[in-house]
Amino acid sequence: MELIFFYIFATLAVVTALGVVVFKNPISSAFSLVISFFAIAALYAMLSAHFIAVIQILVYAGAIMVLFIFVIMLLNLQKEELTERRASFLFKGTLVLFLGLFLGVLVLILKPLSSGFGIVDPNFGTVKAVGQILFTEYWFPFEYVSILLVVALIGGVVLAKKDL
Amino acid sequence: MVTLNHYLILSAILFSIGIAGLVVRRNVLIIFMSVELLLNAANVAFLAFAREQNSLEGQVAAFFVIAVAAAEAAVGLAIVIAIFRNRGTVKVDELNLMKN
Amino acid sequence: MLLILAKIIVPFFIILNIIPLLIWLERKGSAYIQDRRGPNRAALFGIIRLGGLVHSLTDVIKLLMKEDIVPTRVNRFFYFLAPFTTMSVACVTFAVLPFAAPVPWNGNFITLQAADLNAGLLYIFAIASLGIYGVMLAGWSSDNKYSLLGGLRSSAQMISYEIVLSLSVISVLMMAGSLEISQIVADQSAAVWKWNFVRQPLACLMFMIAMFAETNRLPFDLPEGESELVAGYHVEYSSMKFALFFMAEYTNMIIASAVMASLFFGGWQVPFLSTEFLRTHATEALKIVLAGGAGFHLLASVGFFLRGKANIKNKKWGDRRDWEPVILGVGALGIGLVLGAALIYVWPLVLAEKAAVIVTAALQAATFLVKILFFCWVFIWVRWTLPRFRYDQLMNLGWKKMLPLSLVNIMVTGVVLLVF
């Protein structure tokens, strides 16, 4: 049962990720990426990472992609014409596909076919558990990332001004 | 049943699709979206390992990856807007002059 | 399995049935606020007018039969997708809202909630941020610069007020100590002075204002302002797709009311009657509720009849419209008589334990629905009372005034929780 769900969501994620690369219209790519993020969030929930799954939808699908679509609309980008260089497109594409297959084979060699995941207690991956470890052991990266976000905020506002 | 290898191979496939998008497309925004795909592939790997090792540190790492990706997307898109205002194009091929 | 299906389908049907009621309420309510009568002409078989409620049915028929005009150069896929996105995102939020306390049935508890996520509150924020997609795609895909402007403005407004929404609820979260909505509702016990609108008045006020902005209702109505932008982002939509947008707006309103009721006003908690009390004294509670309901409706019918008599005597309009309060009075009388008959039937009974549990759950669910309808009425009331904000005033309010206030609220709540 879990295997069926995994295959459904994994196929959806991969197909829509391919859609990002293949579509000519930038908004179609962006929307395809949103659906991919939803499928990946479902996979996170299957991995008992409930907090991260909801954060993925909240931050990635809900904020970052909204920003992307905003920028695409503001810049009024049209469909891309795929002019010449068809051959180099295919060449690069197959090269990268082989890279992916190589990585897959590497994974299969390095981690022999292990059994399923062990049982984790029901509090694994809840907000409380992640919050506890985030505020005790990893408090320094947490504060650091919050400063990073403030810097990014200021940077974004300054860079997008009309008169630099 | 679903093993660790399933998730790792999924992560590898997503990663290679992200790199394909990065290498093949010429629109800066789609290159950006491929970078977000790369980060998500890394997150899948982090969370799969966290589940297998029964430790929350992978989830903390995934959380930080999401936060940093948000910051990077914001600044990167601001840069893209600034470039568009100056050059009038977002095709990477035409952004190859260091001066006007 | 059947239970999960029931938990998903029943709230969906409740929403779909409240929407015509809300349409009627809005038109009648706005009319009475503006000292006029509102729609009362549509009739079934020439006689049954139901005080204007038939108009919702005629609206549905009209919208279904209208010609479906699709402009030529739209992006078809997104043009068709946008209303579905808005409506489905709005409906999905009901999954995490509890309708009643967990019901003990045959040994284990049944939670009256489709999904008791342990990050339930975060789920609501995530769904609120997904609501922006429908608006943006609708504005962009209809090949019209005014709808693009309307869509961009509306989504910018929704993004700004989403931050205020989330930050104002953080203080509620700090007091309840959990993100599960069922826990937040259970934490506000039945005593009214423990409900979150008393413990966090500033957060409640800011949440209400932010919810008005999130649902694009007046006074934050500019993106769909009828006089400025010709209905903004849904100007190019006709017939069923427009009906979907229309329903999605009312669904957003219902969701906003439900979340407000759950987070700040005690959700399913009946004021002053805790779950234990209700379960042990179910028969008395049932009798009191039936008696109260019957009494209220009978008094209302008396009021309606007096008003109708005054109308007919003074000849306010001189035609059949004067009889409208009489019709409403007959309706109220009917409900009062039915409740009275139920009271007389229930009087000698003593409820068994399972029946007591069911009665408690029904009472709590009914309280939740009453609270939702009350807040929907507040939405409608405010819409027809306050003027509209200008766009820069709106953004100014959101970023410069409400955001610092919500941060101060969080800090003060934190200090108070630590000290006391």
Q: What's the half-sphere exposure (Cβ side, CA atoms, 13 Å) at A53?
A: 21
pTM above 0.95, yes or no: no
pLDDT at C259: 93
In this structure, the answer to whether residues C230 and C117 fall within a common structural domain is: yes
Whether C323 and C309 have beta carbons less than 8 Å apart is answered as no
> Is B41:B62 a contact under the CB 8 Å cutoff?
no
In the prediction, which pLDDT does C190 show?
A: 76
pLDDT digits (tens, 9 = 90+) for C317-354: 666 666 777 877 888 888 888 888 888 887 877 777 77
- C314 pLDDT band, cuts 50/70/90, is confident
In this structure, the answer to whether residues A115 and A131 fall within a common structural domain is no
- Of the candidates A74, A92, A116, the beta carbon closest to that of B2 is on A116
Chain B residues with CB inside 8 Å of A140's CB?
Answer: none
- Average pLDDT over all residues of chain C: 84
Which phi-psi region, left, alpha or beta, contains residue B27 (left: φ > 0; alpha: ψ -120 to 50)? beta
Is the pLDDT at C76 greater than 60? The verdict is yes
Which residues lie below 8 Å from residue A35, measured CB to CB, with a gap of 6+?
A12, A16
pLDDT at residue C132 greater than cutoff 80: yes
> What would the pLDDT profile of C22-65 be if each residue is shown by its tens digit?
888 888 888 888 888 777 777 677 666 666 778 888 888 888 88
CB–CB of B13/A21 below 8 Å?
Answer: no
Over pLDDT 90: what percentage of chain C? 16
- Per-residue pLDDT, A82: 59
User: What span, in angstroms and rounded, lies between the C-alpha atoms of A68 and C210?
Assistant: 24
pLDDT given for residue C356 in this prediction: 81
Range of the domain at C160: 2-269+358-419
Residue type, C247: M
Residue C382 resides in a domain = yes
What is the token pair recorded at A134?
A: 């985030």
Q: Among C311, C327, C351, where does a domain finish?
A: C351
HSE at residue C174, side-chain half, CA atoms within 13 A, is 19
Model confidence at C245: pLDDT above 60: yes
pLDDT at res. A8: 95
CATH number, domain containing residue A33: 1.20.120.1200
Instruction: Give the residue from C351, C367, C390 where a domain finishes.
Output: C351
pLDDT at B78: 92
Phi-psi region of B47 (alpha: psi -120 to 50; beta: other; left: phi over 0): alpha
How many angstroms separate the CA atoms of C291 and C120, rounded?
Answer: 37
pLDDT of residue C294: 86
- Regarding whether A134 and A58 lie in a shared domain, the answer is no
Chains A, C: CB pairs < 8 Å: 57
Q: Is the domain of C414 the same as that of C287? A: no
Give the CA diameter of chain B: 58
Q: Give me Rg for the CA atoms of chain B.
A: 17
CATH architecture of B4-94: Orthogonal Bundle (1.10)
Residues C110 and C125 in one domain: yes
Question: Which of C91-100, C322-331, C371-380 has the least mean pLDDT?
Answer: C322-331
pLDDT exceeds 60 at position C227: no
Nearest-by-Cβ selection for A156 from B5, B25, B74: B74
- Give residue for tokens 């309280």: C367
Same domain, A62 and A87: yes
The per-residue pLDDT for C50 is 67
Question: In Å, what is the CA distance from C82 to each residue of C62, C86, C134, C157, C349?
Answer: 21, 6, 5, 18, 53
Whole-angstrom Cα distance, residue C44 to residue C55? 10
pLDDT given at position C210: 92
Both C109 and C124 in one domain: the answer is yes
Domain shared by C139 and C34, yes or no: yes
| Confidence at residue C316, expressed as pLDDT on a 0 to 100 scale | 67
pLDDT above 70 for C388: yes
Return the residue of B nearest to A148 by Cα. B71
Q: Is the domain of C71 the same as that of C149?
A: yes
Considering the domain architecture, whether residues A8 and A48 belong to the same structural domain is answered as yes
User: Residue A147's pLDDT is what?
Assistant: 96
Instruction: Tell me if C398 is assigned to some domain.
Output: yes
How many domains in chain C?
Answer: 2
Instruction: Find all residues with CB under 8 Å of A101, minimum gap 6, and list them.
Output: none
What pLDDT, on a 0 to 100 scale, did the predictor assign at position B98?
67
- The answer to whether C274 and C190 are in contact (CB under 8 A) is yes
Same domain, A89 and A135: no
Nearest chain B Cα to A154, which residue?
A: B75
Contacts of B37 in chain A (CB under 8 A): 17, 20, 33, 36
pLDDT in tens, C65-75: 888 788 888 87
Please give the residue of chain A at the shortest CA–CA distance from B38: A17
Cβ of residue A48 closer than 8 Å to a chain B Cβ = yes
- The chain C residue lying nearest A77, using CA atoms, is C140
Of residues C334 and B95, the one with the higher pLDDT is C334
Q: Are residues C149 and C296 in the same domain?
A: no
Confirm or reject contact between C231 and chain A (CB < 8 A): no
Q: Among C132, C133, C152, whose Cβ lies nearest the Cβ of A73? A: C152
In a shared domain, residues A50 and A109: yes
3-state secondary structure chain A: CHHHHHHHHHHHHHHHHHHHHHCCCHHHHHHHHHHHHHHHHHHHHHCCCHHHHHHHHHHHHHHHHHHHHHHHHHHCCCCCCCCCCHHHHHHHHHHHHHHHHHHHHHHHHHCCCCCECCCCCCCCCCHHHHHHHHHHCCHHHHHHHHHHHHHHHHHHHHHCCCCC
Burial classification of residue B16, based on how many CB atoms lie within 10 Å of its CB (0-12 exposed, 13-18 middle, 19 or more buried): buried
Q: Is C282 exposed, middle or buried (0-12, 13-18, 19+ CB in 10 A)?
A: buried
Alpha carbon separation from B72 to A20, A149, C76 (Å, rounded):
19, 9, 32
Compare all CA atoms of chain B with the CA of A64 and give the residue at the minimum distance.
Answer: B70
- Residue C327's pLDDT is what? 77
Domain-embedded: residue C253: yes
SS3 string, chain C, reads CHHHHHHHHHHHHHHHHHHHHHHHHHHHHHHHHCCCCCCCCCCECCCECHHHCHHHHHHHHHHHHCCCCCCCCCCHHHHHHHHHHHHHHHHHHHHHCCCCCCEEECCEEECCCCCCCCCHHHHHHHHHHHHHHHHHHHHHHCCCHHHHHHHHHHHHHHHHHHHHHHHHHHHHHHHHCCCCHHHHHHHCCCCHHHCHHHHCHHHHHHHHHHHHHHCCCCCCCHHHCCCCCCCHHHCCCCHHHHHHHHHHHHHHHHHHHHHHHHHHCCCCCECCECHHHHHHCHHHHHHHHHHHHHHHHHHHHHHHHHHHHHHHHHCCCCCHHHHHHHHHHHHHHHHHHHHHHHHHHHCCCCCCHHHHHHHHHHHHHHHHHHHHHHHHHHHHHHHCCCCCCCHHHHHHHHHHHHHHHHHHHHHHHHHHHHHC
Interval B79-93: pLDDT, tens: 998 888 888 877 887
Q: Where are the domains of chain B?
A: 4-94
Q: What does the pLDDT look like over B9-50, one tens digit per residue?
A: 899 999 999 998 888 888 889 999 999 999 999 999 999 999
* Calpha distance C59→C54 (Å, rounded): 9
* Ramachandran sector of residue A82 (left: φ over 0; alpha: ψ -120 to 50; beta: rest): beta
**Which two three-digit tokens encode residue B70?**
């948000």
Closest CA to C354 of C44, C96, C103: C103
Q: What is the mean pLDDT of residues C3-8?
A: 84
pLDDT at residue C395 is higher than 60: yes
Does A88 lie in the same domain as A18? yes
**C282 has a chain A CB within 8 A of its CB:** no
ipTM: 0.90
Q: What is the pLDDT of residue C349?
A: 75
Mean local confidence (pLDDT), C238-247: 82
Q: Which domain holds residue A30?
A: 2-125
CA atoms within 13 A on the CB side of C263: 35
Across the interface, whether the CB atoms of A50 and C118 are under 8 A apart is answered yes
Model pLDDT, residue C72: 82
Q: Which pLDDT score is estimated for C51? A: 67
Q: Do C219 and C322 have their domain in common? A: no
User: What would the two tokens of residue C275 be?
Assistant: 């779950």
Contacts of residue A98, Cβ cutoff 8 Å, sequence gap at least 6:
none
What six digits make up the tokens of A43? 């996979």
Chains A, C in contact: 3+ Cβ pairs under 8 A? Answer: yes
Tell whether C367 and C330 lie within a shared domain. Answer: no
Is A155 found in the same domain as A121? Answer: no
Task: Give me the residues of chain A with pLDDT under 50, please.
Answer: none
Mean pLDDT of chain A: 86
Question: What pLDDT sits at residue C202?
Answer: 92
User: What is the per-residue pLDDT for A144?
Assistant: 95
Residues C223 and C334 in one domain: no
In chain C, what is the greatest distance between 2 CA atoms, to the nearest angstrom?
Answer: 70
Number of domains in chain A: 2
Q: Do A70 and C125 touch (CB under 8 A)?
A: no
Task: Look at C122 and A61 and tell me if their CB atoms are within 8 Å.
Answer: no
What's the gap in Å between the CA of A24 and the closest CA on chain C? 13
| Domain end point (choices C319, C351, C383) | C351
Mean pLDDT of the C297-305 span: 86
Measure the CA–CA gap between A30 and B29, rounded to whole angstroms: 9
CA distance A40 to A56: 9
- The CB density around residue C141, as the number of other CB atoms within 10 Å, is 24
Please list, residue by residue across C303-316, b when 16 or more beta carbons sit within 10 angstroms of its beta carbon and e when fewer do: ebbebbeebeeeee
